[in-house]
Amino acid sequence: MTERARSTVPVPPWGLALAAMLSVQLGSALSVNLIATVGPAGTAWLRLSLGALIFLLFARPPVRAVRPRDVPALLGLGITTGLQTIVFLAAIERIPLGTAVAIEFLGPLTVAAMRTHSARALTWPILALCGVVLLTEPWHGEVNAAGIGFAALAAVGWAAYILLTQWIGDRFTGIGALSIVVTIGAAVSAIVGIPQASGHLTPGIIATAAGLAILLPVLPFALELLALRQMTPAAFGTLMALEPAFGVLLGLLVLHQQPAVFQLVGILLVVFAQHGGQRLTRAADRIEAPSALDRTGSATDRNRAEGAQACPLFNPDPARR
């Protein structure tokens, strides 16, 4: 993007990144009401299906560019997208949004620690786990094991998402591959989502789901793509550390989930651990690619950066996530 093109965007890149995170967490918070009507799988199916339709309207799937060796990664990422969306929505049906987001962040933190091949790197996932313990307050004896289990599955899904998008990001750019991935995810979620939502579909429900699809994943993807064209992936990843705090904030404002003092300390630990994990990722990237890149970078690294942000559902998020 040229300097003239950049100047036409009045919002600074960090503002675009923060707006993307806000859209992700707002979409998650507002999904809770829809979950109560059509269930987590039904909500995932509606949101992914309508999101896929929107992406297909604006991007032609690069079907001719798909090679046989790309198929497993595309299928794997699509299946991960569908399943992770379902389990995350099942988690926020049972536990506070901020807690679910914090647990989900254990996935990318663990991937970052493993990439460094250093035992000391495990400090950050362990610190985040301590924060999760403070968030769930097990000493009160009111732990929702199912909600925590679903959030943990979402963390595993996010970890798989990161690994798969590294392959996809090297092969495809823009939203073309995303239209394939989200469509596969919608098909996967339909297996459980259609039976769960059947009998509850009304024009109002479909309109609500369409609005949620814009909030998550369509709008975050557009904002993240604009932000990544004006800032380094490392700087973007540093801002991502704030996402669990956004989850707590939107849980408070939209869902009236009041965090206790211990829980606030817990979310601060998770944010700090995520920041440390981002430093691990930068260190691992330097090891894998010793020649440092400037802001423009090589085509492969730009593709990887865009691919890693291609699915903001899961907030690299995946699908970031």
Q: How do the pLDDT tens digits run along the chain, 321 residues long? A: 444 444 455 788 899 999 999 999 999 999 999 999 999 999 999 999 999 999 898 888 888 888 888 899 899 999 999 999 999 999 999 999 999 999 999 998 888 788 777 777 788 889 999 999 999 888 777 789 999 999 999 999 999 988 888 777 777 766 778 889 999 999 999 999 999 999 999 999 999 999 999 998 889 888 888 888 888 777 887 888 899 999 999 999 999 999 999 999 999 999 999 888 777 666 655 555 443 333 333 333 333 334 343 333 333 454 344
Residue 316 lies inside a defined structural domain of this protein? no
The answer to whether residue 263 sits within a structural domain is yes
Q: Is residue 313 part of a domain?
A: no
pLDDT value of residue 287: 52
What are the tokens at 297? Answer: 């970078």
Domain annotation covers residue 2: no
Range of 54's domain?
12-308
pLDDT at 176: 79
The answer to the question of residue 6 being in a domain is no
Query: H helices of the chain, where?
Result: 3-7, 13-58, 71-92, 97-104, 106-116, 123-136, 145-171, 176-197, 203-213, 219-228, 233-240, 243-255, 261-288, 299-308
pTM score: 0.84
Please give the pLDDT value at position 4: 46
Determine the pLDDT at residue 310: 36
Answer whether residue 144 is part of any domain.
Answer: yes
- Please check whether residue 314 lies inside any domain of the structure: no
Q: Within a domain: residue 235?
A: yes
Residue 255: the pLDDT is 96
Check residue 66 and give its pLDDT: 86
Rounded Cα–Cα distance for residues 8 and 283 (Å): 33
User: Looking at residue 51, what is its pLDDT?
Assistant: 93
DSSP string, 136-162: H-GGGS---HHHHHHHHHHHHHHHHHH
How many domains does the chain contain in total? 1
How far apart (Å, rounded) are the C-alpha atoms in residues 124 and 276? 6
